[in-house]
Amino acid sequence: KAGVTQTPRYLIKTRGQQVTLSCSPISGHRSVSWYQQTPGQGLQFLFEYFSETQRNKGNFPGRFSGRQFSNSRSEMNVSTLELGDSALYLCASSIQTSSYEQYFGPGTRLTVT
Amino acid sequence: DQQVKQNSPSLSVQEGRISILNCDYTNSMFDYFLWYKKYPAEGPTFLISISSIKDKNEDGRFTVFLNKSAKHLSLHIVPSQPGDSAVYFCAASGGGGADGLTFGKGTHLIIQP
């Protein structure tokens, strides 16, 4: 089976812009979760989508949003980018909810200048 | 407030010896624990997990121990191999799947030849 794929792998944006990141889960996986990884905070949960519905949300501002399509592919959007949004954004998929083993993609490295 | 703590940012172990990585948690609602391994420029890879109804789970060279009363878990790798050099993350889940996975900040394991 193909693993979790994320596009793009690297992205450079300017403060105030918005960005959309894409994630394709493992075939058959219906749950997609997004995480932000920074050197200071480690891996932090952003949100989880299951069957096109947001199931859980972490402690992030409303500038961070996402959606899931009927084929389980997911997108994450960050509006009005801030310098502190520079991070590695990881997508993970699992068969069931985010409580169980999750399989991560390689991540999208976002740099905000 | 960090609910999952990995107090050793790095650990150096000789090849062939045992590597012991430790993790402490504070949230008594956590009922499922996982270890992930991460190489640079890749997403975390699931290693092994344990449910709170068990105190030990083994998979090849990897064994996870859970001490619920101490809110402590550890990952043992025996024998350690050069390919084990990576960052290891402890993660926890609970409360009916709310809030996704909560990760520790990771321990960088270095296997010395």
Q: How confident is the model over A32-69, as pLDDT tens digits?
A: 999 999 988 888 999 999 999 998 888 899 999 999 99
CB contacts of A55 in chain B (<8 Å) are: 97
pLDDT at site B40 = 86
In eight-state DSSP terms, residue B69 is T
**CB < 8 Å to A47, chain B:** 100
Phi, psi values for residue A57, rounded to 5° = -140, 135
Residue B98 has pLDDT above 70, yes or no: no
Alpha-carbon gap, residue A79 to B32, rounded angstroms? 34
Q: Is the pLDDT of residue B101 over 90?
A: no
pLDDT of residue A98: 63
Give me the percent of chain A exceeding a pLDDT of 70.
97
Mutate to test the interface with B, among A36, A101, A103 (most CBs of B within 10 A): A101
Q: Judge: A4–B43 Cβ closer than 8 Å, yes or no.
A: yes
pLDDT tens for B48-88 read 999 999 999 999 999 999 999 999 999 999 999 999 999 99
The 10s digit of each residue's pLDDT in B12-41 is: 999 999 999 999 999 998 999 999 999 988
Residue B111 CA to residue A39 CA, distance in Å, equals: 22
Is the pLDDT at B110 greater than 80, yes or no?
Answer: yes
The highest-confidence range among A1-5, A7-11, A56-60, by mean pLDDT, is: A7-11
